[in-house]
């Protein structure tokens, strides 16, 4: 670091993304990307004529994209804000709904971005331990007066909180915001989006990176009451008004409109997830129940760190977290059926040598 770095920045513990090798020699099962290309309608939307308009700023209101999202979700455009991935929306939320005297509560084992953002903004953070079985119990959050952030399904566990329990959390204290991060909801979990019409203190964030194959396009969005969305726009226009580029706006709207392709991809991931879980359990793995496009698993014969390293040496990347409670587990993205077959074949070789 330079001698110019502020003392506040020195104290940050930045979020560490999964490895992104550029030589493409790996089967990448470490960053929860989709194994499928974007919808054909996305490719049609990204024409040469549209690319030539990159000399012009994008629409700061994201009007066409917000309208497409609102239509699909049965809401109004004023209930939607779009962003440069859902990470940006989450950052807006931390800035908008937390501050002096109002911190944030989230699980001790969850998406690491929450920790990084509270540190960046100098916010008080309460880390609430998951239960022994890695489940999240809303009882542990009922008395917290600040903003509650819940990834549902959770990452890296893939486990869910039933929507009636989220409703209970919302009703217990209507004077605090509950942020439900639904980055992985499309792979089998029940969404809280219908509750947006009932609770002015609910913000639901989603992304097009996973189920709509736009990780490189960086398109995320949030749904909430018009007042909550106005709060987020206040932060957005104080930071980066043109936050979604022209091509991503087109890609996002086209992806939302291709419901058949979206459903087909999600169904394929769910089917492959079930196959992979069964295959690993047959090999002595413990696999947590998952409603996401990844699984969290541990071998009864190979420690998590060793499994990660040995798979990497043999061309397969998975995600390993060197942290208490989860050190023995690896998070494995659900890729194509062929990729998961390659994974199990490699695991068979590793286990044969132990």
Taking only the tens place, the pLDDT of each residue in 311-354 is 999 999 999 999 999 999 999 999 999 999 999 999 999 998 76
Task: Output the pLDDT for position 12.
Answer: 83
Cα angle vertex 220, ends 123, 287, to 5°?
A: 80
Tens of pLDDT along 33-61? 999 999 999 999 999 999 999 999 999 99
CA proximity to 228, closest of 207, 205, 202, 192: 202
One DSSP character per residue, 121-182 reads TT--EEEEPPPTTS---GGGGTT--SEEEEESS-TTT-----HHHHHHHHHH-TTS-EEEE-
Q: How many angstroms separate the CA atoms of 215 and 217, rounded?
A: 5
Closest among 78, 339, 344 to 223, alpha carbons compared:
78
Average pLDDT over residues 100-119: 95
Instruction: Taking each helix axis as running N to C, give the angle between helix 337-352 and helix 259-282, from 0 to 180 degrees, rounded to the nearest 10.
Output: 10
Provide the phi-psi class of 158: left if phi over 0, else alpha when psi is between -120 and 50, else beta.
left
Residue ranges of domains in the chain, CATH in brackets: 12-37+260-352 (3.90.1150.10), 40-257 (3.40.640.10)
CA distance 296 to 183: 16
The percent helix, strand, coil of the chain (3-state, each to 5) is 45, 15, 40
Q: Provide the pLDDT for residue 214.
A: 98
As a whole number of Å, the end-to-end CA separation of the chain is: 42
Question: What distance in Å separates the CA atoms of residue 133 and residue 176, rounded to the nearest whole number?
Answer: 28
Residues of the chain with pLDDT > 70, as a percent, come to: 99
Over 80: is that where the pLDDT of 228 sits? yes
Contact 81, 221 (CB under 8 A): yes
- Mean per-residue pLDDT over the chain, rounded: 96
Tell which residue, 291, 212, 292, has the closest CA to residue 259. 212
What pTM was estimated for this model as a whole?
Answer: 0.95
Phi, psi of 296 (to 5 degrees): -120, 115
Residue range 136-144: average pLDDT? 97
pLDDT of residue 15: 80
pLDDT at 177 over 90: yes
| Span 240-268, pLDDT tens digits | 999 999 999 999 999 999 999 999 999 99
Cis peptide before 29 (omega within 30 of 0): no
What pLDDT score was predicted for residue 6?
87
CB 45 within 8 A of CB 251: yes
The arithmetic mean of pLDDT across residues 52-74, rounded, is 97
């Amino acid at each position: 670091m330079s001698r110019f770095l502020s003392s506040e920045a020195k104290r940050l513990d930045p979020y560490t993304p999964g490895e992104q090798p550029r030589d493409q020699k790996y089967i990448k099962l470490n960053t929860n990307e989709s194994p499928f290309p974007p919808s054909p309608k996305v490719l049609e939307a990204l024409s040469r004529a549209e690319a030539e308009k990159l000399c012009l700023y994008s629409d700061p209101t994201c009007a066409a994209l917000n309208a497409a999202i609102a239509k699909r979700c049965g809401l109004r455009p004023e209930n939607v804000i779009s962003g440069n991935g859902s990470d940006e929306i989450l950052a807006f939320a931390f800035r908008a709904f937390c501050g002096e005297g109002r911190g944030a509560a989230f699980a001790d084992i969850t998406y690491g971005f929450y920790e990084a953002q509270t540190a960046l903004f100098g916010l008080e953070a309460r880390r609430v331990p998951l239960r022994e079985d890695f489940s999240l119990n809303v009882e542990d959050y009922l008395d917290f007066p600040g903003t509650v952030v819940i990834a549902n399904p959770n990452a890296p566990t893939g486990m869910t909180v039933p929507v009636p329990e989220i409703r209970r959390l919302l009703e217990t204290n209507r004077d605090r915001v509950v942020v439900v991060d639904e980055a992985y909801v499309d792979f089998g979990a029940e969404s809280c989006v219908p509750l947006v019409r009932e609770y002015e203190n609910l913000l639901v964030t989603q992304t097009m990176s996973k189920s709509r194959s736009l990780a490189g396009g960086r398109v995320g969005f949030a749904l909430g009451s018009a007042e909550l969305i106005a709060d987020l726009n206040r932060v957005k226009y104080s930071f980066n008004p043109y936050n979604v580029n022209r091509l991503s706006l087109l890609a996002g709207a086209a992806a939302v409109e291709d419901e058949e392709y979206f459903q087909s991809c999600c169904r394929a991931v769910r089917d492959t997830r079930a196959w992979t879980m069964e295959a690993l359990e047959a090999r002595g793995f413990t696999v947590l129940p998952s409603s996401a496009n990844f699984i969290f698993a541990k071998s009864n014969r190979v420690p998590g760190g060793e499994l990660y390293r040995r798979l990497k040496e043999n061309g397969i990347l998975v995600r390993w977290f060197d942290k208490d409670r989860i050190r023995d587990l690896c998070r494995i993205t659900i890729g194509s059926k062929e990729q998961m077959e390659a994974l199990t074949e490699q695991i068979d070789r590793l286990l044969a040598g132990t």
